Amino acid sequence: MPASIVFDTVTVAPGRKTVWFTIEWDEAPNKGPICCMASPAPHEPAETKLVVEDFATCRHPNGSVFYAGMISNLGADATGARIMGVYFPELEGAWIV
């Protein structure tokens, strides 16, 4: 069962890899695994197509884990988007070392 949702809103210009994002936590630096998606904001044009690319688990020099990726907007117009990440704390011990 997912434990939490990380939520942010951005404007994504048309084109490949136009928005860079990261997800991390201050209170507990090593959470995961996480599934991530970009969803058009309500009332955006139907032709909007958002793609998350180059999504990766990363590590800061201090050893804490964060997640990063790029969003591409394959539509013709800029669009508002929600970046959503769901993480699974019940799997943390097996995932992050």
Which H or E run includes 16? strand 15-23
Tens of pLDDT, residues 1-38: 666 677 788 999 999 999 999 888 776 667 778 889 99
User: Does residue 65 belong to any structural domain of this protein?
Assistant: yes
Six-digit token pair at 19?
Answer: 């928005």
Q: Domain range spanning residue 27? A: 4-86
User: Does residue 93 belong to any structural domain of this protein?
Assistant: no
Tens of pLDDT, residues 47-79: 788 999 999 988 888 888 889 999 999 988 899
Distance CA 32, CA 23 (A): 11
User: Does residue 97 belong to any structural domain of this protein?
Assistant: no
User: Does residue 55 belong to any structural domain of this protein?
Assistant: yes
User: Does residue 12 belong to any structural domain of this protein?
Assistant: yes
Six-digit token pair at 71?
Answer: 């969003």
Distance CA 86, CA 23 (A): 11
DSSP bridge pairs for 21: 69
Q: Count the domains in the chain.
A: 1
